[in-house]
Amino acid sequence: MQETDAVARARRDIEICNACRYCEGFCAVFPAIELRREFSAGDISYLANLCHNCRGCYYACQYAPPHEWGVNVPASLAEVRAESYAEYAWPRPLASAFARNGTLLSLAAALGIALVLALSMLANGAAGLFAARGSFYDIIPLWAMQAAGIATLGFSILALAMGARNFWRDAGARGRAGPVAVGVALWDVLTLKNLGGGGNGCNDNSEAFSMRRRWLHHAMFYGFLLCFAATTTGFAYHAVFGWPAPYAVLSAPVLLGTGGGLLMIAGCVGLLAMKFVDDPAPNVRRLLGGDVALLLLLALIAVTGLVLLAVRATGAMGLALAIHLGFILAFFVVLPYSKMVHGVYRSAALLRRAMERKLKPLGGE
């Protein structure tokens, strides 16, 4: 991680925290701070990605604004976190995509829909696109969906893996993660424990505690996993058992996809609404565009998926399929250059934290 003004501000705030230690039990960040006396730029990046932005430390801090020291750990770490996304991006020339992230996601969604719609019309004709069909593959061949998905998602997974490698090296992790550390980190990821702050929840827009952000993140995260499970199950039905789509309403792919889509919509809409009522003081407002664009894209993927389910085997299925696949194509393409990377770096930071816990003296955390 390069030395920047944001890194310097975060280091200054963290050094004050390390002397004060009033917030030491709030989340995983402060015990990690206590293990250090000096903070390299890599340490600051690690702590920034370990932070879940629960904001409890901001409201508890006696040195927060309007104090002359103006300590604002959530905002300082958010700035570094945003810089780290571009710092670790692979390949490097695409790191600039984070500078105008909201615009990038919007353009990708529009181009994705236009491209899939145009190809669908070329393959089926204008009249054929709006004709009632029995299967999705009558409109867009399965091989075409698979080729586009493997190419775009495959590249994105590679880019995310390379970014995670860059972060891991910069965070100063040494040695191999044992099964205990992996298990602890996985538990922290799946439960979003650190979105509970010190145990009472996050401070969304005041000193009052709430679990809203944690539950909404759970809805979006597990809804996404259910939708992925629906797609995987549908592929197994077709490739292994020879059962082509569409499937019955009570089949596993439909039930998983419907439940996942509803959870994603609830999570994304709820988090989107919170973006506009949160206290701006511990936030960085210039980063709002990318966050909003990603939440809208995820919500639109879920909404168009449910619409496609509702209009299947009708004349509207072709158009609904093209729009839905356009949004998915856009998501696959921009995945490693959107706020979604925070899930990868935060998971890696939680693993790094689980590994260093053994350095605590007996009787510590």
pLDDT in tens, 90-111: 999 989 888 888 888 888 888 9
> How far, in Å, CA of 7 to CA of 40, rounded?
9
Per-residue pLDDT at 358: 62
Residues β-bridged to residue 210 = 202
N- to C-terminal Cα distance for the chain? 28
Q: List the structure tokens of 1.
A: 């991680």
> What is the DSSP secondary structure assignment for residue 151, as one 8-state letter?
H
Cα–Cα distance between 236 and 138 in angstroms, integer?
19
Where helices occur in 279-340 by DSSP H, the ranges are 288-311, 317-334
User: Is the pLDDT reported for residue 23 higher than 90?
Assistant: no
Asked if 78 and 283 count as a contact pair (C-beta separation under 8 A), the reply is yes
237's tokens: 């039905």
Q: Are 319 and 114 in contact (CB under 8 A)?
A: no
Distance CA 138, CA 157 (A): 29
Find where tokens 């969304």 sit.
204
Q: Distance between CA atoms of 300 and 320, rounded to whole angstroms?
A: 12
Determine the 3-state secondary structure of 276 from DSSP.
Answer: coil
Contact yes or no for 350/50 (Cβ under 8 A)? yes
Close Cβ partners of 19 (under 8 Å, ≥ 6 residues apart) = none
Enclosing H/E stretch for 164? helix 142-170
Each residue of 240-298: pLDDT tens digit? 888 877 788 899 999 999 999 999 999 999 999 998 888 888 888 888 888 999 999 99
pLDDT band at 361 (very low <50, low <70, confident <90, very high): very low
Give the mean model confidence (pLDDT) for residues 351-359: 82
Numbers of helices and strands, H then E, in the chain: 13, 0
CB atoms within 10 A of CB 273: 13
pLDDT digits (tens, 9 = 90+) for 300-323: 999 999 999 998 878 888 899 999
State how far the alpha carbon of 245 is from the alpha carbons of 40, 41, 80, 296, 304, in Å: 54, 51, 46, 28, 17
Give the per-residue pLDDT at 290: 87
Q: What is the pLDDT of residues 133-149, one digit of tens each?
A: 777 888 888 888 889 98
Output phi, psi for 258, to 5 deg.
Answer: -65, -50
pLDDT-derived band at 364, boundaries 50, 70, 90: very low
C-alpha 238/C-alpha 253 separation (Å) is 11
> ω before 282 within 30° of 0 (cis)?
no
